[in-house]
Structure formats: structure tokens, C-alpha cells
Amino acid sequence: MWPPRVIDTPGGITCEYFGWEESRIPSPMVEDFNRYLDGVGVMSKFVRDVLRESGVNIPICVVGNGVDPHDFDASIQAPELDDLRAFSFLHVSSAFPRKGVDILLDAYFSTFDGSSDVSLILKTFPNPHNEVGELLQSLRSQHPNPPDVRWINRDIDEHELKGLFNLAGCYVHPARGEGFGLPIAEAMAAGVPVIAPSYSGWRTSLPTRPQSPSPTPSRKRSRILIFLARSGRSPTPSNWGSR
């Protein structure tokens, strides 16, 4: 429920499971949590720290999020994916502004062009904050030879979603903030290298270790790192996570 309603629960003990992506929660929410809740379960240490720094003083327990095992045999048949290039980047999100799709597209269009053997797969869904269509139209109109972008803007089932991860050579998630970062966890479960900022919920909740991109020719590897640098992130191994 949004916003969280905690003022009239009938139970003797009331707890809230809570996720948050920004650096503070509103003061009225802090007051309600402290007054009406007995405890809060959160999805990452990042969320716990945000609550504490915002003034929440009741018990907080980091409980995390579950991630389904990956199906390496999953596949997806979609007209948007016909004739993919040799290497595919993948991004899965709502395309809300905080998801950083604008950063992703700017970096991609700055690094690649239509002759590049690379595709970018964007999986989103229709909503009032999704401006991918406008972003693509603007970037394509300014680029003499636009790179290949495949946009799936509709619901797909769980099997198809896992099929997308099986197509990806690299998962890119330049979000400005995440409470947990479920698509990042799903990419890691699929063994797909990840580009993501070293910040917010995913960085404190998911196992990571420095790793360079999965086996690709050195020129492709260099272009991936250039792509990362142009997205405004430092192209260092600390930005890569894999499991």
C-alpha cells in the first residue's frame, strides 16, 4: 500500500515490510512508524540506514528479497527480437525517471552506431512516467546512423523474462536509486555480467566481486567499458558484479 497505512491496524503487534530508493523518508512517515509500529522489515542495509538517518527509532531487521532460481533453458519468441546483433545489452525496468533509462540511452547512442554488431534490449511496460518512446525518437533524429535498439513495452511472462536474460551478454542498470535491485539479482542468478552504480540498495544486499565482462573479443570488451564510462560511471572492476 502506498503511502504506508499503519495507524489503524487491529493486531497486538504491527510490523511493516518496507522498501525505499531515496536518501530520506518524509517526516510524517517517520512519525507514524515510530508511533504505530513495533518493527520494520527492510529489503537491504541501504533501506535500514535511510530509516535510521531519517529518525526511525523502532527495531529494524534486514530480511532481504527472494530471487527465483534461473532457468537456463528459458526462451522468448518476440517480433521485437528478430535478427539481434552478435552482442546484446539488456535493461529491465518500469522506465520511471529514477531508473536512469535516459543515462543508458545517451551512453549507448554516444558509443555505438548502426554499423556496430550490438543490440540494446529494453524491457519496460506502459505507464505515465515511461518516456522511452520520446527519448528514442529524439536520439534517433539526432544520430546519422542510430545503433540498434529493441524496445519491448508490454507484459511478458516469467519464462519469457528469464529468456531475455539468456539472450543478454551484459545487463545494464544505471538507476539513480534502488531499495534492492531485483533485476540486478536476476541477472546475477543468470550468470550475466552487470553494469550498475556502486550505490543504494543493490550494493548492500547482493553478493558481488570484481569481474571483467564475460568472454568477448577484446575490442568488444573495450567498447563496453567506453559505454560504461560515457554513462557517467567509472569503468573500473568495482562496478561489475556476478554470481
In which band, very low, low, confident or very high, does the pLDDT at 216 lie, cut at 50, 70 and 90? very low
Q: Does 191 score more than 90 pLDDT?
A: yes
Residue 118: pLDDT over 50: yes
Residues 82 and 168: their CA atoms lie apart, in Å, by 14
pLDDT of residue 227: 55
| Domain ranges across the chain | 15-62, 79-241
Q: At 51, list the grid cell.
A: 530509516
What CATH number was assigned to the domain covering residues 79-241?
A: 3.40.50.2000
pLDDT tier for residue 108 given thresholds of 50, 70 and 90: very high
Q: What predicted TM-score, i.e. pTM, was given to this entire model? A: 0.83
The pLDDT of residue 219 is above 90: no
Of residues 65 and 120, more confidently modeled: 120
Please name every residue paired with 172 in a beta bridge, in sequence order, or none if there are none.
195
Please give the average per-residue pLDDT across 136-162, as a whole number.
97
User: What band does 208 get if pLDDT is binned at 50, 70 and 90?
Assistant: low
What is the pLDDT, as a whole number, of residue 240?
Answer: 33
pLDDT in the model for residue 209: 55
Instruction: State the pLDDT at residue 206.
Output: 66
Share of the chain above pLDDT 90, in %: 72
Strand partners, 41: 17, 61
Average pLDDT of the segment spanning 191-205: 84
CA distances for 129 relative to 101, 125, 132, 146, 218, angstroms: 11, 10, 9, 24, 38
Q: Could you tell me the pLDDT band of residue 223, with boundaries at 50, 70 and 90? A: low
Mean pLDDT (the chain) is 86
| Averaged pLDDT, 162-183 | 94
- Say whether pLDDT at 235 is over 90: no
In sequence order, which residues have a C-beta less than 8 Å from that of residue 154 and are 6 or more positions away? Answer: 125, 126
Q: Of residues 124 and 224, which shows the higher confidence score?
A: 124
Instruction: Say whether pLDDT at 51 is over 50.
Output: yes
Higher-confidence position of 152 and 213: 152
pLDDT at 98 exceeding the cut of 50: yes
